Structure 1
Amino acid sequence: MRRLSLWFKAHPMAGDAHIAVAIALFELPLIAAMASGWHTAILILVGIGLTAPLVIRRRNPLLSAYLVLAAGAVQLFTHGEGSDDTPDLRLRVADMALGISLYTLVAYVGRRQAALYAVGLAIGTGAWAFWRFSGMEPLIMVTFAAIIFALCWVLGEFAGARRAYHVEVERRLALLETERDHQARIAVGEERARIARELHDVVAHAVSVMVVQSEGAAYAVRTDPDMAEQAIRTVAQTGRDALTELRRLLGVLRSDAAETGRAPQPGAQSISELAERVRAVGVPVVLELTGELDDLPAGVGLGVYRIVQEALTNTIKHAGPGASAAVRVKRDGDQVELDITDRGRGAKRGLASGGNGLIGMRERAHVFGGSLEAGPLPTGGWRVHAVLPVTAA
């Protein structure tokens, strides 16, 4: 049944044709009662004029309504009171088309056009009632017609309001689909920005370690071959680790990313390995981890790791020879506090690197509702201090 209803909604002329045919079927007894002659021909023509326009009442409501009204005017002048051998033609079943047309104009066109049509109906109905009836009958017939037309108007208002509601719902659904697509594009942009920050952290750290180790190996290759060999191994291992992370990050951009295995994200538990790599470069690192860091949310753990990584990368790049670093990560209840300091000559490292590293660290802290401060120490060196709430994440 629902499928049939949807089919009629998609093909309105088919449903309207059924209405016209149904009214025509009720007209058959009247036509059969008429004797052959020109009266029968006029009866049939007027019947067709009243019912046939209903087929296009939703495709072209105004044309349909005024064709029906014109047929009603012809009926007014050609149909009269019956006699012994002819039926009464002052009122016929096909006159229902007048009310249907009024309903259609109210529902599909608007009140203004429907009101103009109603004026025509009122004039025609008054002329019909006082011309074709006598005594008290005209008042009765006018009252009866007014009730019928008022009912058609009310039904048209109801159908028009329901139709307008469905149109508004469909418009809002289309707007929601557009907004959803827009949000999807924003999400893609945010994901790409996140990947860009990840790539900056990975590449900056790995390249800094590899450059320092390569320079050290070049100096030690003749005087201390064992140290040079160790430095080259560190370069190779750092390169392999960087490639692993780069493959994971770039895999997100591939269309088949869902089918591609991804390496686990680094977290707070990986800070010890990070400190070991920095020590291998030649920068002493004092690491102090306090509190339960292994059960941090994945996002917070990754943020902690990246902030420490970027801070140590800046130490390698800008602190100068003889520098050392101290990393303290402490979880106290629902927040994680990071404090990374170094002792070196570099003071304007944020400006020297274009500030991207500091911006990235601040963004990571702000994403989780935390804060980050970075700047030179009064006694020399650099300090990065961040607080990340765990519950907000």
Structure 2
Amino acid sequence: MRPRPTPAQRRNDLLLALVLLGGTLGSTALYRAAGVADGAPYWHSAIWAATMSLPLAWRRVAPEVVAITASVAFFVGAMAEIGELLFSNITLFIAIYTLGAWGRSRRIALLVRAGIVLGMFVWLIWGLVVAANAPDHLPEMSREGGLVSPYVAYALINVVTNLLYFGGAWYFGDNAYRSARERVALEQRTEELAAERERTREQAVAIERLRIARELHDVVAHHVSVIGVQAGAARRVLARDPDEAAASLTAIEHSAREAVAELHGLLGTLRQGDGEGDDGDTDAPAEAAPHGLADLPGLVAESSASGVPTTLGVIGTPRETSGVVGITAYRLVQEALTNVRKHAGVGATADVRVRWADDELELEVSDTGAGSTVAARSGGLGQAGMRERVSAVGGDLELGARHRGGYLVRATLPLRRAGAVS
């Protein structure tokens, strides 16, 4: 259903009505000065001009009433021999057009327009028939002739002109209504798609955070198991070998501090309130050990086997990292190679580079895919997961097209977290 007009639209309609009133009055004066219309007093013409044009100020509020008023005023003006034919025709056209474009009830709009058009054509045909039998009306036009007499040709011109006039007002009014309906439907679909994208993004982030939580469970379990083993060893040798017991206690302290640092960084990224059902994890089957940097050659081999030739380069001296950094590095490379297979196109190659620095680990996955597919990789759900993982370990992530073609994923992961003991 058509919405009500806005205040700005109503102001524009008022301005249009005033302009048409001025034009109608001026046109009436010109017609009278030309001697074409002098059958009615001027004040009659002024009242008629106001009745004809001013209702257009409410044309979008009550289009049915305005169309009927304009039609009746047009008829009365002709019967009273006002004689103005320019602006009155414009006003009637706008009134019928508006009824088609702004009628809130399509059935009423159809019936009112059909009634107006039928009435106008009955009036036209009746006038032509009466004039055909009145020799003093247009005496210069013969009623007799060949196949088409001059008067019949004149009558046909009037009929065709009125068909085009009313048909145009009808067609353009319906077309404006359809365009408005399609525009509203498009706006609604756009809002729905935006809301759906937002929900999908939030779901992707939630799923990725839950995955991080599961992997964090493995990391923490590793630290706790190490602490348990070292504590048992320290208890057994505490009496006879204090130095060995101290070494075990030092290892316990290191594992505890590293676990606390990783927990502090990761738990802050997890959604609050998703802990329901956590107590039931004890009955779940044990998951496989989490992947890490040592599994990158397997990812590269899998990518090559799937049709994307992939190379792996390691720069610097590898060394031990925390479990979370290893898992994050593995998942980043896995997601980047998956995107290469999905978007890079036929004939693309990929390169994975691992650079070891003093305090950080840099991962770089690049490909030679077609530049036209870069847009398809931007803003994906997998990239939302990448950002979550890198943010969880306090790193930086860079995504984007390469200048020489293809796509680049570069991540910098710190090897030490604040609070951890080296």
**Retained in 2: the 8 A contact 1:50–1:95?**
no
From the superposition, tell whether residues 25 and 160 of structure 1 become closer, same or farther in structure 2 (CA, over 3 Å): same
Fraction of identical pairs, as percent: 30
- Structure 1 residue 117, shift from structure 2 partner: 2.3
**Retained in 2: the 8 A contact 1:80–1:88?**
no
- Structure 1 residue 201, shift from structure 2 partner: 1.6
Say yes or no: does 1:46 pair with 2:19: no
Amino acid at match of 1:172: R
Q: Distance in 2 between matches of 1:183 and 1:11?
A: 38
Say yes or no: does 1:232 pair with 2:229: no
Say yes or no: does 1:268 pair with 2:263: no
Q: Distance in 2 between matches of 1:156 and 1:299?
A: 65
Say yes or no: does 1:99 pair with 2:93: yes
- Structure 1 residue 113, shift from structure 2 partner: 3.6
SS of the residue 1:222 aligns to = coil
From the superposition, tell whether residues 46 and 131 of structure 1 become closer, same or farther in structure 2 (CA, over 3 Å): farther
* Structure 1 counterpart of 2:185, from 137, 152, 168: 168
Amino acid at match of 1:180: R
Say yes or no: does 1:21 pair with 2:22: no
**Retained in 1: the 8 A contact 2:24–2:87?**
yes
Q: Deviations over 1:173-223 (max 9, x none)?
A: 101111111112102211320221232022211111112211221222112
Q: Distance in 1 between matches of 2:295 and 2:121?
A: 94
Say yes or no: does 1:119 pair with 2:118: no
From the superposition, tell whether residues 145 and 36 of structure 1 become closer, same or farther in structure 2 (CA, over 3 Å): closer
Say yes or no: does 1:80 pair with 2:79: yes
Q: Which residues in structure 2 correspond to 1:265-304 (within 5 Å)?
A: 267-268=292-293, 294=314, 302=327
- Structure 1 residue 147, shift from structure 2 partner: 1.2
**Retained in 1: the 8 A contact 2:10–2:57?**
yes
- Structure 1 residue 72, shift from structure 2 partner: 2.6
- Structure 1 residue 305, shift from structure 2 partner: 7.7
**Retained in 1: the 8 A contact 2:66–2:95?**
no
Q: Distance in 1 between matches of 2:175 and 2:86?
A: 27
From the superposition, tell whether residues 158 and 226 of structure 1 become closer, same or farther in structure 2 (CA, over 3 Å): same
Q: Which residues of structure 1 form unaligned runs of 5+? A: 1-7, 256-265, 272-290, 307-333, 335-366, 368-393
- Structure 1 residue 52, shift from structure 2 partner: 2.1
- Structure 1 residue 139, shift from structure 2 partner: 5.3
Q: Distance in 2 between matches of 1:88 and 1:37?
A: 8
Q: Distance in 2 between matches of 1:194 and 1:231?
A: 32
Say yes or no: does 1:148 pair with 2:165: yes
Q: Which residues in structure 2 correspond to 1:203-282 (within 5 Å)?
A: 203-253=220-270, 267-268=292-293
**Retained in 2: the 8 A contact 1:49–1:67?**
no
**Retained in 1: the 8 A contact 2:231–2:249?**
yes
SS of the residue 2:236 aligns to = helix
Q: Distance in 1 between matches of 2:118 and 2:328?
A: 81
Amino acid at match of 1:191: E
Q: Distance in 1 between matches of 2:114 and 2:158?
A: 17
From the superposition, tell whether residues 105 and 294 of structure 1 become closer, same or farther in structure 2 (CA, over 3 Å): same
Q: Distance in 2 between matches of 1:37 and 1:149?
A: 27
| Counterpart position of 1:185 | 202
SS of the residue 1:11 aligns to = helix
**Retained in 2: the 8 A contact 1:206–1:239?**
yes
| Counterpart position of 1:129 | 124
- Structure 1 residue 80, shift from structure 2 partner: 2.9
Q: What TM-score, normalized to structure 1?
A: 0.56
**Retained in 1: the 8 A contact 2:216–2:324?**
no
**Retained in 2: the 8 A contact 1:72–1:95?**
no
- Structure 1 residue 96, shift from structure 2 partner: 2.4
Q: Distance in 2 between matches of 1:239 and 1:219?
A: 20
* Higher RCO (CA < 8 A, seq sep 6+): 2
Count matched residues: 265
Q: Distance in 2 between matches of 1:269 and 1:156?
A: 70
Bigger helix fraction:
1
Q: Deviations over 1:321-354 (max 9, x none)?
A: xxxxxxxxxxxxx9xxxxxxxxxxxxxxxxxxxx
From the superposition, tell whether residues 49 and 64 of structure 1 become closer, same or farther in structure 2 (CA, over 3 Å): farther
Shifted more, 16-25 versus 239-248: the winner is 16-25
From the superposition, tell whether residues 180 and 270 of structure 1 become closer, same or farther in structure 2 (CA, over 3 Å): closer
- Structure 1 residue 74, shift from structure 2 partner: 4.5
| Counterpart position of 1:351 | none
- Structure 1 residue 242, shift from structure 2 partner: 1.1
- Structure 1 residue 50, shift from structure 2 partner: 2.5
**Retained in 2: the 8 A contact 1:106–1:114?**
yes
Shifted more, 99-108 versus 109-118: the winner is 109-118
Q: Deviations over 1:94-149 (max 9, x none)?
A: 23222222222333337644431232222331343356562356654343222101
Q: What TM-score, normalized to structure 2?
A: 0.52
- Structure 1 residue 244, shift from structure 2 partner: 2.2
**Retained in 2: the 8 A contact 1:50–1:67?**
no
Q: Deviations over 1:231-251 (max 9, x none)?
A: 101100111111222222134
Q: Which residues of structure 2 form unaligned runs of 5+? A: 133-150, 273-290, 297-310, 332-350, 352-384, 386-422
From the superposition, tell whether residues 148 and 78 of structure 1 become closer, same or farther in structure 2 (CA, over 3 Å): closer
Amino acid at match of 2:58: I
Larger radius of gyration: 1
- Structure 1 residue 150, shift from structure 2 partner: 0.8
Q: Distance in 2 between matches of 1:40 and 1:238?
A: 103
Q: Which residues in structure 2 correspond to 1:299-378 (within 5 Å)?
A: 302=327
